[in-house]
Structure 1
């Protein structure tokens, strides 16, 4: 197997450009640190809260447009048993950003939080925050491992480069520039990466659509030619799992520090919301090229290509359909542009996950739990150490490609079932407490695990309606992930209010009130009354000003 030298050189040039951008951004980060009057470590985490809107849009979009987004979307559209209707990422990620902008930006920015874990730590204390950090850590590290594994497979197909080599090289580059400049390096390299993703993917489309081996995709969308129509079908049995997965992608996507890190980094709440809305439109539009690539693959007579028969699906290579299409339906230079898009997507997601995870570890675990007297400079070094450590862990897991995807799915489902209801309660239900949070955590996790998981070979204990034995494996055709999330939410609320009632009425001794619920409830009530009072004053002031204006 000979390495494709022109392609390898092109990838090296791209990585050099990214490194130069990262180094330049790190110098900007140092200048911001010198201006900073507070904790300099916040510059690494939230960029001094003065990131411009356009950079915010680029970095927010690039974070969501990862290797899994591009490769996964193309695979789902091409897969005869799936189709376009099951390709949920473009719609789901766009909805994530819109819902985040509408409901989650303002509560996080009002109190000047630095990480997603800050409100958890303030309300629930250190021990419970540590548990939630572990969930967030698993999600971020699995994200890193999955996108690196996707890149390794893609480079193997197009460049004949060993998978482990591309994984190690890409991880090293991303770790290096993230170490240098924190959020500034991540954000400004995201600008370059996103431009590269958009240009590279759209360049490939005309060459693919006009290839003589490809039938008109508008015809194959509804007619069976080489396989079933790529648009896909939904029946009564599959519609609920489809809705379940859409809700998982949409609402579960709000539970990542990478999202909050960007909305906290711009200057104002309004700018943060605009960043979310524009990035949502960009995410949806960048989902179109991989959809078209998957449609082209489903419309190709593979016998007329250098790939030949059997088809990629029959060979079990559907997960690599994007690089296969680029290699066998485009010229080699166009295929190289496509691999560049995947490499850019992988690095833009990897650096975000690394910085997010290390930021939460340094601020919420190291400084507030392990070493409370740590200096600001020490925290900065811990952030760098975390980037290196978590990057190496993700890289190591990426080399175990057989298990990464299933672990990513499972961690994403646990975050949705367990973490999302906790986030909603933290933001909007001030009377919920740590007793309820613990109960919700236990109930949500247990209920999800009892539902079974085919990827991890966990048989279901609970057989929901529609549970079917297929090829020796039980498959649940029921929205069990959303059910677990809803049950977890109501458990948090009900147990929280129950314990608060029991302590307030004296049914439980005060020595059992280890979380000081009565005291916190009183403080919360005062805070709410103060906010209402301030809001009344503001309204009176507005009415007064309007009255004065009318008199004039």
Structure 2
């Protein structure tokens, strides 16, 4: 197994050329930025092809490439329910349920929406939650930057993160959403080609055993001995008698089903209330473009997202004795170095960096919009558009800088990514959805839902931690007693279902109880006019729409 790559200078040259191209695109796009709408939502002029590239790139980064391959190696298909399956579900739900209303509202950010539908307190709390999630997501991507560049070039991880972050900040600062979208299209093309190339080459290796091995539902196909293709919790009747591998990640009963629900809902539902993906829907040239793009992106994402999943299965056959650090940090990198020709390695390295930059750029722009665009209006309601745009640009490097600190503190790519979206699931999704579809939702209900969902999640975490600690005792070679890393994440995910339940219950109960003292506000568009809500379903092409009614 390759520990470092011998042809690092050639990879460095390829990455420098590629990053120079990104900077050139950012400079060109900056010439088309005349106002805040150009910078934040690309002037609302993106067609379907660019929108598909942008939406797929929202998540197709470190989690889906490096993280998913490692999680499949460890846990089989159960390891990647979060992503790509959850992310594909999110895109589908956005297209079918939310895309029309999001585009029709013509807001710049979700903070605008929360302030219009509820009040400034809800918008302010929502901004803090969304900003925390975006920064955690960027941190996960920066971990991937450092791992890729260090492995292929030998450059220290801090230098690799720094170089990539500087390029990311530069082209996002210059061109905003238009630069992000143009580079998304380029970067998704590169990563798709490179992933197909490594799939063809790896599956052609005689050691893998061909596609029969990949589709064999055997517990001998991954590190934890879970049935390879058991998407749902494994029934006791299907479990291996020696391994007793029933359930989800070996958790049975309600904990197994709660874990599975958290896996599909964390990104599948939680990310619906994320600023970056909504900002991309807001950039579409029309409602139909946003709907078609989101639905098509769901299919595209799942197809290309399965490539690293299959590679993770093949990797277990090629390297059955990898350390946990190698599995979680550089599994695909090792495979590329060992099996790909130099030219394809260069393309592959650029493709991985491309995927990470696509996701990180959108999240960085989303965070800068929350602080610069919305924050400036909170502090100075009469601020001019020119000043607000300057502040938004200035916060691009600030958001990247804070995310860099998170990247240095947490080095588990997949878990850091999922935890960010779980925060949105328990705190933001219910107020977001209720604002569109439940006329009786009010500001007090939204605040209670956001705070109560988080507290319910936190309480559940401490309640489940002793149980997950017991389940993770003696599971990892070389670690005596509890392997706390896994016990911690298991408790965090399982408890998120109680957070979601708390969020729903409190939204309904508090909104109804306080309806007289805090009457619900109507759903309006960016101009303050009642929003047409008929024909909201994504496939309602050409159907009539009527005005929003509080009846």
* 1:373 aligned onto 2:382: yes
Residue 435 of structure 1 aligns with which residue?
444
Q: Structure 1 residue 57 and structure 2 residue 52: aligned?
A: yes
Change (3 A) 1:383 1:153: same
Change beyond 3 A, Cα 1:20–1:519: closer
Please list, as runs of the form range in 1=range in 2, the aligned pairs for 1:21-32 lying within 5 A after superposition: 21-27=25-31, 29-30=32-33
1:242 paired residue number: 260
Q: 1:529 to 1:123 in 2, by over 3 A?
A: closer
1:349 — aligned with what? Answer: 359
Matches within 5 A, 1:329-408: 329-367=339-377, 369-402=378-411, 408=417
**Whole-angstrom distance in 1 between the partners of 2:182 and 2:441:** 39
Of 66, 76, 80, the residue aligned with 1:71 is: 66
State the partner residue of 1:507.
none
Which deviates more from structure 2 when the two are superposed, residues 63-72 or residues 178-187?
A: 63-72
Moved more, 291-300 or 222-231: 222-231
Q: Is the 8 A contact 1:447 1:484 kept in 2?
A: yes
How far apart, in 2, do the equivalents of 1:420 and 1:138 lie?
Answer: 15
Superposition RMSD on alpha carbons, in Å?
Answer: 3.2
Whether 1:288 aligns to 2:306 is yes
TM-score normalised according to structure 2 size: 0.82
Partner in structure 1 of residue 287 of structure 2: 269
**In structure 1, C-alpha distance between the alignment counterparts of 2:177 and 2:222, rounded to whole Å:** 47
- The answer (yes or no) to whether the contact 1:312–1:318 under 8 Å persists in 2 is no
Q: Distance in 2 between matches of 1:268 and 1:463?
A: 51
Q: Which runs of 5+ in 2 are unaligned?
A: 236-246, 249-255, 474-481, 537-542, 545-551
What secondary structure is seen at the aligned counterpart in 2 of 1:460?
helix
Against the structure 1 CA distance between its residues 20 and 523, is the aligned structure 2 distance closer, same or farther, given a 3 Å change threshold? closer
Could you say which structure has the greater relative contact order, defined with CA pairs below 8 angstroms and 6 or more residues apart?
2
Offset of 1:317 from its aligned partner? Answer: 3.8
CA shift, 1:150, in A, is 1.3
**1:133-172 pair list within 5 angstroms:** 133-172=127-166
Structure 1 pair 334–404 and aligned structure 2 pair: CA distance change class (3 A): closer
Gap change, CA 1:264 and 1:519, over 3 Å in 2: closer
After the TM superposition, list the runs of 4 or more consecutive aligned residues in structure 1 that deviate by more than 6 angstroms. Answer: 461-464, 521-524, 527-535
How has the CA–CA distance of structure 1 residues 441 and 460 changed in structure 2, closer, same or farther, with 3 Å as cutoff? same
Instruction: Indicate how the Cα distance of structure 1 residues 406 and 282 shifts in structure 2: closer, same or farther if over 3 A, else same.
Output: closer
- Structure 2 match to 1:486: 501
CA 1:123–1:324 in 2, change beyond 3 Å: closer, same or farther?
Answer: same
Deviation for aligned residue 1:197: 0.7
Range with greater deviation from structure 2 (279-288 or 237-246): 237-246
For structure 1, the residue ranges without an aligned partner over 5 or more in a row are: 34-39, 303-309, 453-458, 504-512, 536-540, 543-552
Q: Is contact 1:175–1:388 with CA below 8 Å preserved after alignment? A: yes
**TM-score, normalised by the number of residues in structure 1:** 0.82
Aligned CA distance change for structure 1 residues 267 and 523 (closer, same or farther; 3 Å) = closer
Q: Which has the larger radius of gyration?
A: 1
CA 1:150/1:478 → structure 2, altered by over 3 Å: closer, same or farther?
closer
For the residues of structure 2 that align with 1:98 and 1:351, how far apart are their CA atoms? 22
- 1:91-170 aligned within 5 A: 91-170=85-164
**Which position in structure 1 is the counterpart of 2:540?**
none
Distance 1:363 1:522 in 2: 22
The answer to whether the aligner puts 1:11 opposite 2:26 as a matched pair is: no
Distance 1:77 1:530 in 2: 44
1:412 pairs with one of 414, 421, 432: 421
Q: Distance in 2 between matches of 1:206 and 1:11?
A: 23
1:450–1:462 Cα contact (<8 Å) kept: no
